[in-house]
């Protein structure tokens, strides 16, 4: 019997979570295309005309949460890059996610414009993330048009994200992944003027890269790829 081998590997990184989110988006888009083909074949009133909706909605929720997780993982990696010792990092780590990005920028003598739409969009993402991972049982008002239920007064102001995890859809997941990629590239490359590969490696804690699925989705939705180590589309 062969002896086991122990080794170290970098885990829980921005790059890891973003690549998985893109994989889920690619799978969801494929399932959506199958549904659209069935719609043409069977028509919109056939119950089994959209058999993949159930799975797409669940994949979309996971992708949405992964986008938020990647934003936090990236923030912690950037803090590690500027922390001179573990005790300082421990103090920084307690800060809110977006403030961590501001601390990183300040270490480069730069500041983040909180009024910029890129900042506002990821702020909304983190608002939803906090609602989802710290759920508080409540009564909410819903309305229905017979086919689609929506939550009343429960959406964010900019992206209109529903503040209820079960209502996150594929478009929301795509927007969340796009917002994170665009924000991190803006911080690293535009505000702090860090070279693309260096910035991707910093936010990825020494890792960077992209997949074919990731590249295709970025091209189709005009998502900034610089935080993955690739030139902007």
Residue-level pLDDT at 153: 63
Burial of 150 (0-12, 13-18, 19+ CB in 10 A): middle
d(CA 212, CA 205): 22
Residue-level pLDDT at 214: 97
Residue-level pLDDT at 163: 87
The pLDDT averaged over each successive group of 10 residues in the chain (233 residues) is: 86 97 96 74 55 88 98 97 83 93 97 98 96 85 66 80 90 98 98 98 96 96 97 82
- Region of residue 195 (phi > 0: left; psi between -120 and 50: alpha; otherwise: beta): beta
Instruction: Say what the pTM is.
Output: 0.90
- 16 in Cβ contact with 208 (< 8 Å): no
Residue-level pLDDT at 92: 87
Please, how many CA atoms are within 13 Å of residue 199, restricted to the half-sphere of its CB?
26
pLDDT digits (tens, 9 = 90+) for 60-119: 999 999 999 999 999 999 999 998 777 888 888 899 999 999 999 999 999 999 999 999
Helices and strands: H and E segment counts in the chain: 8, 2
* Secondary structure (H, E, C), 71-119: HHHHHHHHHHHHCCCHHHHHHHHCCCHHHHHHHHHHHCCCCCCCCCHHH
Residue-level pLDDT at 44: 57
Q: H or E stretch including 95?
A: none
Residue-level pLDDT at 51: 66
């Amino acid at each position: 019997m062969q002896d086991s081998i122990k080794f170290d590997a970098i885990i829980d990184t921005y790059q890891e979570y973003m690549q998985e989110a893109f994989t889920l988006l690619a799978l969801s888009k494929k399932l959506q295309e199958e549904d659209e083909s069935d719609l043409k074949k069977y028509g919109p009133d056939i119950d089994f005309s959209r058999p993949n909706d159930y799975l797409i909605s669940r994949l979309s929720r996971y992708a949405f949460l992964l986008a938020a997780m990647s934003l936090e993982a990236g923030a912690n990696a950037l803090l590690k890059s500027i922390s001179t010792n573990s005790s300082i990092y421990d103090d920084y780590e307690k800060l809110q996610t977006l403030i961590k990005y501001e601390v990183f920028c300040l270490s480069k003598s730069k500041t983040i414009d909180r009024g910029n739409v890129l900042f506002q969009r990821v702020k909304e993402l983190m608002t939803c993330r906090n609602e989802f991972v710290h759920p508080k049982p409540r009564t909410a008002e819903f309305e229905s048009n017979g086919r689609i239920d929506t939550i009343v007064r429960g959406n964010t102001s900019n992206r209109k994200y529903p503040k209820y995890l079960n209502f996150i859809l594929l478009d929301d997941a795509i927007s969340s992944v796009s917002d994170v990629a665009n924000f991190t590239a803006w911080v690293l490359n535009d505000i702090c003027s860090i070279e693309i590969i260096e910035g991707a490696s910093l936010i990825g804690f020494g890792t960077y890269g992209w997949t074919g699925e990731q590249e295709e989705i970025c091209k189709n939705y005009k998502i900034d790829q610089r935080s993955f180590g690739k030139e902007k589309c």
